[in-house]
Amino acid sequence: MLLLGVWVLSWYPAGMSDPNGEPVDHLVLPILNMASEYKMKVCLHIEPYFHRTAQSIVDDLRYAHRRGYTTHPAYFRLPAPNHQINPQTSLPVFFIYDSYTIHPEQWASILLANGSTTIRSKPYDAYMIGLLMELTDCKLFSSIGFNGGYTYFIAKNTSQPSESTNWQLLGSYCRQSHVDFYPSIGPGYDDSAIRPYNTYRSVNRTDGHHYFSMFHDAIRARPAGFGITSFNEWGEGSQIEPAKPANRPPTWITTAYLDYQPFSADFYLRLTRIFVNAFEQWNQLPPGFNAMNKNEAEAIYEIMTKVNATI
């Protein structure tokens, strides 16, 4: 996932991994060091590893602090104005994927200031963002101590909070509950190459117009920020990473990922920069931004005009 200027890294505790992947913890410090060079920020997206509990999350936060992740200058921090003890504090940010798999009472025990094993005011205290799965979750999150909520999903019919038409209402609910709202936008979705049964959840990119539609709905919701799902989740077809047309022999049986034709490999990065500029009220464009063909320039101009009308 990508948040404005921030890399949100999928993370498992040391020695653990996705069933189809390899451990990633050893990569965190090198990525933080590289992020410093490029003036980027990084935070962790804690995945639902085997036997994950609220207490194991506390262990994860302690570990991240002890390893120097959360004290690294490139680790992303946010002020917590509704912090229960110190409203002036700035805390390292963690996204908790599938946070609903842990019972609310367990979360309250670590996230509320009076919880039995609270993280609040400890050296490993953190700004915790849970996954919104119901429209009423912001009220729940407030009652159990979460600082924010995010929507993550781009696929159709996954959750009510991930449907962008609900974001104005959801944003209002979150503000009433003093929980920061972070909707997730994306260019499209197609995981049929790895889940052939899942085509009914596919979302057509419509040459960037779906991406704009989600951005438009996010802005109307007055969020604290917004995330992008995803930079490089190729298996789910939600990536914005540069993509060139596949050049594979006709005898290959593997499915090629979608490219961005008739536009360039950087088409979705250009759209992303337009959205970021609009949200942050920036005017500057990076070198090479205008190096595109006529078709792409016309498509970019059309969407840019819509963005300017939105802000």
What distance in Å separates the CA atoms of residue 3 and residue 55, rounded to the nearest whole number? Answer: 27
pLDDT tens for each residue of 53-71? 999 999 999 999 999 999 9
**Mean predicted confidence (pLDDT) in 18-25:** 92
Element (H, E) at 127: strand 127-131
What distance in Å separates the CA atoms of residue 146 and residue 276, rounded to the nearest whole number? Answer: 26
Expressed as residue numbers, the domain containing 238 is 2-310
Element (H, E) at 90: strand 90-96
Whole-prediction pTM value?
0.94
Q: What pLDDT shows up at residue 247?
A: 76
% pLDDT > 90, the chain: 82
Residue 212 CB: number of other CB atoms within 10 A?
A: 22
What distance in Å separates the CA atoms of residue 274 and residue 284, rounded to the nearest whole number? Answer: 10
pLDDT tens for each residue of 158-179? 999 999 999 999 999 999 999 9
Q: What is the CATH number of the domain that holds 279?
A: 3.20.20.80
Q: Name the residue type at position 2.
A: L
Q: What pLDDT shows up at residue 15?
A: 94
pLDDT tens for each residue of 122-142? 999 999 999 999 999 999 999
First-residue to last-residue Cα distance in the chain: 24
Q: What pLDDT shows up at residue 2?
A: 46
Angle CA 272–275–279, to nearest 5? 140
**Mean predicted confidence (pLDDT) in 238-249:** 85
What distance in Å separates the CA atoms of residue 311 and residue 304, rounded to the nearest whole number? Answer: 11
Q: What pLDDT shows up at residue 194?
A: 87
pLDDT tens for each residue of 201-225? 999 999 999 999 999 999 999 999 9
Residue 210 CB: number of other CB atoms within 10 A?
A: 19
Domain count, the chain: 1
**Mean predicted confidence (pLDDT) in 246-252:** 71
